A and B are shown apart, each in its own frame.
Chain A
């Protein structure tokens, strides 16, 4: 970046630049220590046969762990679970969040109270929401089964979290409940920045509410919406708590994070577990690039524009 402004200020600017280094140093050191170095070590472990329960450093085995990983059907099962979970939950959250945000954007009584209520699921710890829903979806005593039985929609209780065909959808349901409000609040913030005059013009042009939404609202909030979707998608790809608490290490719901941690901590297989962790890292990186390119989003774009 080129120095701007009159000559008198450039001395100050230079002073600042020198000072900036020292002000940045502690943060940079901390990030390198807590993220950079561990990531490097994980990458290194993934090329060895190190074990967590042995003090001896593992021997270099090349890409053997990765070869094993790619041949493990349980890994691919975890990849599939994670991708299905991420795509389905983020899609539902975006659509529902949009509906809620549009509704909250209307002037009406009780809007403030409803917006406050939306923050409740967001603030509740994921573990707690998983337990709450685990109880509501309990096969014998759960309120969901009781309600469905009472309404005559089902004949016998359903084992939502134990049935392998349903468990993943139960996890999706909990995630949708917990994070839709976050999505709605972000979309609402974008909606409130839109100038009202555009809509007046559209009304004169005879656009109906649906036309207005697709022709005006959606294109205008698209940048903010894409950023929110990317944040949510990356969050969903590393999901761990929900699956772990709702159904343990069960293969029916195991995400990539659950799989990697199980190899690493429960089976003490540091090398193989690290390879799985790097696999997850690679998939997250690919998804980020895909989303950013397809969504034509410039993260940090505001920076360069200055």
Chain B
């Protein structure tokens, strides 16, 4: 009897733990949504629900600042850098995953090292390069500089996936005299589709969230990406931050990300573990 009771108590504690974890992970974002729907003095009451919801924060975000433009900038930058990384990454992964040559291990180790080194360490060198190319305060500077973290990651994960494919796959095509390029496009591109979608999605999220380069290489409000725009929203004085608007902007850029992540959650977990655990 007491053993059963002990078991029951254990179960209840376990469920409580799960509930606590769920609240801990979800509450801050839920609170951001609630705050974004309050306006004026309602903001400074800790009332749990905004009734009726006020939409002025959302309206003001787009009216007073070029926030639409900021979103477009983020989409352009992240989209371009992902496309570029996938193209370069697939080509490199084909070589690294399917051929054996001297220096391959060294190359992979270098790529891993680049993906882990601090962005600040290349900041001044990149700054000089970007100014020299005339790309300062230009979205291209971000597309270029973001390669430093999206490309190594893409190469690493795609190589992992590429190695797992059976050897016979391209040998038949090669014996038929197809060039390596044809083999890559006709044989591997279709099979690598899901892996590329996963990798691309993870690289997209990383680029979408990047802050340091975007803050340093752009100057005007029109050229800002979303994270910088949100970080730099300010009020009349630093003591009067327009929290309602900050939360509205935060919700706008986060909801699509969360939807993406929830739809592709299996793929994302697979991609994360391919990048880290198997690495």
Contact = CB atoms under 8 A, between A and B. Distances in A.
A and B: bona fide binding partners: yes
Given A27-B155, A300-B105, A280 B118 contact: yes
A128 B246 CA distance: 9
A182 interface: yes
A31 B227 contact: no
Contacts of A294: none
Contacts of A106: 14
Given A257-B120, A260-B123, A121 B25 contact: yes
A249 interface: no
Quick one: which of B99, B101, B171, B243 has the most chain A CB within 10 A? B99
Contacts, number: 296
B76 to A, nearest CB: 17
Contacts of A261: 120, 123, 212, 216
A124 B277 contact: no
Contact of A16 (B35, B98, B108, B121): B98
A216 interface: no
Interface string B101-120: 11011011111101011111
A15 interface: yes
B118 A237 contact: yes
A3 B254 CA distance: 50
Contact of A124 (B111, B119, B181, B257): B257
Contacts of A15: 174, 180
B213 to A, nearest CB: 10
Quick one: which of B112, B120, B128 has the most chain A CB within 10 A? B120
25 contacts: A17-B99, A24-B92, A27-B92, A31-B152, A33-B129, A34-B122, A38-B128, A39-B125, A40-B125, A117-B26, A120-B29, A121-B25, A124-B254, A127-B211, A128-B254, A129-B28, A132-B29, A185-B272, A186-B272, A189-B273, A257-B212, A273-B123, A277-B123, A288-B116, A302-B279
Interface of A: 1, 3, 9, 12-13, 15-17, 19-21, 23-24, 26-28, 30-31, 33-35, 37-42, 45, 52, 100, 103, 106, 108, 110, 114-133, 135-136, 138, 140-141, 143, 146, 177, 181-182, 185-186, 189-190, 224, 227-228, 231, 234, 237-238, 240-241, 244-245, 256-257, 260-261, 264-265, 270, 273-274, 277-278, 280-281, 284, 288, 299-300, 302-304
